[in-house]
Amino acid sequence: MLEISDLSARYGAIAALDHVSLRVENEKVVSLLGSNGAGKSTLLGCITNSVSCRMQGSIRLDGKEILGLSTDAIISRGLVLVPEGRQLFNDLTVEENLRMGAYGFEHGRKWRTDLERVYALFPRLVERRRQVAATLSGGEQQMVAIGRAIMARPRMLLLDEPSLGLAPRLVREIFNLVREINGQGVTVMLVEQNARQALRIADFAYVLEKGRLMGSGPAPILAKDPHVVSAYLGEE
Ligand code: ATP
């Protein structure tokens, strides 16, 4: 289990997170809702130590403190971030991008087996394996970004806005795939502005507003909460 206690984060004078405490239980999908600037990306960045902010508090994985460990050490413990905006290597092919996810683990690991696992999840990438990332559609790029993370054999995937910029049909497809990956035993922490879809696939959700946790609960219950409905769900 991942347990965050009293986590605060600052960028210089700007407080991005203010005493946030939450838990992500193994093999669950946990969504984090919040509007622009609420601190969602900062929270994922703190967990993976991939943001340049000052952190205070505690982040424990199975009871062991991970706050302050290097990003590589955190990845090797199984926590892998899929950053907002995909951040692929544009000039590299699909397969080269995927192999970057196994970088550092290639010796002693059967990366080809991992590659086959990614292609089984995303069959569309098989026919595009030699195409450079820059020429892929947004949905395909997102698949590569998630696939690259899977190459690191995560026990927990941290997804930052996977639906950003995608057409509604693709959004649904990506979320269904996230659920499928979770079905293979991977815990998921999902940051999303598409609250409706995020709640649809989540077991539990938290609401972050201006760096503070303002609500939490099982996803089906939060989906009926009047504040959540008016602030994040709006009209169907
Ligand atoms: P969005 O949905 O727009 O990505 P978010 O909820 O992920 O928003 P964050 O990106 O975590 O929010 O930002 C939280 C706050 O921290 C914002 O006020 C933002 O301006 C500030 N912030 C984020 N990154 C930096 C940075 N590198 N330097 C200074 N301030 C930052």
The CATH number of the domain where 200 resides is what? 3.40.50.300
pTM: 0.92
C-alpha 22: how far from chain center: 16
Which residue's CA is minimally distant from atom 17 of ligand 1?
37
In a domain, 73, yes or no: yes
Per-residue pLDDT, 21:
98
User: Tokens 């409706």 map to which residue?
Assistant: 196
Per-residue pLDDT, 234:
76
Per-residue pLDDT, 193:
84
Query: In this structure, what token pair is assigned to residue 52?
Result: 């340049």
Q: How far is the CA of 185 from the centre of ligand 1 (A)?
A: 31
In a domain, 177, yes or no: no
Per-residue pLDDT, 105:
64
Determine the residue of 10, 18, 40, 51 to mutate for testing ligand 1's pocket, defined as the one with the most ligand atoms within 8 A of the Cβ atom.
40
- Amino acid identity, residue 19? H
Which residue's CA is minimally distant from atom 28 of ligand 1?
11
Per-residue pLDDT, 158:
97
Per-residue pLDDT, 3:
98
Query: In this structure, what token pair is assigned to residue 63?
Result: 């009871």
Q: How far is the CA of 13 from the centre of ligand 1 (A)?
A: 13
Which residue's CA is minimally distant from atom 20 of ligand 1?
37
Question: From first to last of its 236 residues, what are the pLDDT tens digits of the chain?
Answer: 999 999 999 999 999 999 999 999 999 999 999 988 999 999 999 999 999 999 999 999 999 999 989 999 999 999 999 998 888 999 999 999 999 888 766 556 678 888 999 999 999 999 999 999 999 998 899 999 999 999 999 999 999 999 888 888 888 889 999 999 999 999 999 999 889 889 999 999 999 999 999 999 999 999 999 888 888 887 55
Q: How many domains does the chain have?
A: 1
In a domain, 109, yes or no: no
Cα→Cα distances 197→27, 35, 190, 236, Å: 19, 15, 11, 12
The DSSP element (H or E) to which 191 belongs, if any, is strand 187-192
DSSP annotation of 230: I
Phi/psi at 118 (nearest 5 deg)?
-65, -45
In a domain, 27, yes or no: yes
Range of the domain at 68: 1-78+189-236
Residue 179 to residue 187: CA distance in whole angstroms: 10
In a domain, 53, yes or no: yes
In a domain, 115, yes or no: no
Contact yes or no for 30/206 (Cβ under 8 A): yes
User: Tokens 């009047």 map to which residue?
Assistant: 226
Per-residue pLDDT, 113:
86
Per-residue pLDDT, 108:
60
Ligand 1 atom with the smallest distance to the CA of 36 is 3
Phi/psi at 158 (nearest 5 deg)?
-110, 110
In a domain, 135, yes or no: no
Per-residue pLDDT, 35:
87
DSSP annotation of 153: -
Ligand 1 atom with the smallest distance to the CA of 38 is 6
Per-residue pLDDT, 46:
97
In a domain, 145, yes or no: no
